[in-house]
């Protein structure tokens, strides 16, 4: 793997509604068009040797959207889990769901569960985290609650709680933090995505709307990442550890 390929890329896939609006189409058409971009992003990351790709598909706040839009998003998710199953397994991609899968419709839960279990049962070349009904704050609160339970039951002492112990209770436990965070459609905000994990991620915001985001855009973002000087609070050096 080239040193400039990020180990973990996280993407806030934004702009489906604006893409549809620009074509005088209903918002849901933007979500449908966005599915092709998902397939292309997964393929490209797998090809260039990314270890973890995390896609923000639906936030805890997105439940506030109109019912028909939420239903369309859920049915697209269901279709994605069924239609991409073969390719994901063939490509040795392990699928994980971050967030609150229990809030998703049962039929979606079953399809995702099958995908996660089937892909976990074999060796993998890349992990695909699907952040669904995901919120960074809620993930952090859950980790804090798990720690509190461990302390109450004397499995852990308060003075043993450090960053590593905390991170081990997050849903991304064991995975490297995102090196590169991409957000499409120009918005410069995190929208409750991976709040703990992006502490030192390089952020690339592109104006391209998610349904227009192709392989070349992803490769350009990776190139941009390669030009960044990562410091982690230290001084510029050849490597983060250097
Ligand atoms: C991203 O596109 C998809 C989801 C958040 C589910 P949006 O639906 O947020 O599109 P815009 O931001 O309204 O253009
Ligand atoms: C963030 O996009 C969530 C996803 C991309 C799934 P939003 O479109 O929901 O975020 P805001 O509302 O613009 O911050
Ligand atoms: Mg949006």
CA–CA dist 204, 169 (Å, integer): 28
The CATH number of residue 119's host domain is 3.40.1180.10
- pLDDT, residue 236, reads 80
Total domain count for the chain? 1
Structure tokens given for 97:
């769901």
Query: Residue 124 pLDDT > 80, yes or no?
Result: yes
In a domain, 130, yes or no: yes
pLDDT tens-digit map of 20-60: 999 999 999 999 999 999 999 999 999 999 999 999 999 99
63 lines ligand 2 (CB under 6 A): no
In a domain, 91, yes or no: yes
Query: Residue 78 pLDDT > 90, yes or no?
Result: yes
In a domain, 95, yes or no: yes
- pLDDT, residue 238, reads 64
Parent domain of 113: 8-135+177-227
CA–CA dist 14, 129 (Å, integer): 17
Query: Residue 242 pLDDT > 60, yes or no?
Result: no
Nearest-CA residue for ligand 2 atom 11 is 191
Residues with CB under 5 A from ligand 3 (ion): 14
Q: What is the pTM of this model?
A: 0.96
In a domain, 237, yes or no: no
Structure tokens given for 70:
């939420």
- The answer to whether the CB of 92 falls within 8 A of the CB of 48 is no
CA–CA dist 130, 194 (Å, integer): 12
Structure tokens given for 75:
């049915």
Residue from 11, 12, 13, 18 whose mutation best tests the ligand 1 pocket (most atoms within 8 A of CB): 18
Is residue 201 packed enough to be buried (19+ CB in 10 Å), middle (13-18) or exposed (0-12)? buried
């Amino acid at each position: 793997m080239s040193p400039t390929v990020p180990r973990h890329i996280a993407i806030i896939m934004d702009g489906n509604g604006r893409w549809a609006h620009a074509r005088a189409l209903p918002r849901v058409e933007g979500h449908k068009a966005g599915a092709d971009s998902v397939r292309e992003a997964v393929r490209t990351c797998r090809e260039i040797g990314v270890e973890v790709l995390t896609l923000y598909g639906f936030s805890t706040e997105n439940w506030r959207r109109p019912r028909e839009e939420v239903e369309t998003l859920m049915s697209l998710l269901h279709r994605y889990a069924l239609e991409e199953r073969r390719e994901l397994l063939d490509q040795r991609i392990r699928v994980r769901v971050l967030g609150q899968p229990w809030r998703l419709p049962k039929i979606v839960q079953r399809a995702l569960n099958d995908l996660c279990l089937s892909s976990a049962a074999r060796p993998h070349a890349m992990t695909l985290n699907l952040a669904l009904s995901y919120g960074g704050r809620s993930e952090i609160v859950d980790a804090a609650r798990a720690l509190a339970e461990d302390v109450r039951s004397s499995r852990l002492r308060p003075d043993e709680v450090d960053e590593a112990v905390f991170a081990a209770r997050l849903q991304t436990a064991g995975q490297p933090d995102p090196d590169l965070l991409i957000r499409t459609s120009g918005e410069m905000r995190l929208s409750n995505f991976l709040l703990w994990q992006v502490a030192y991620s390089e952020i690339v915001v592109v104006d391209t709307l998610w349904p227009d985001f192709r392989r070349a855009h992803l490769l350009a973002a990776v190139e941009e990442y390669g030009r960044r000087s990562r410091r982690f609070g230290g001084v510029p050096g050849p490597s983060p550890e250097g």
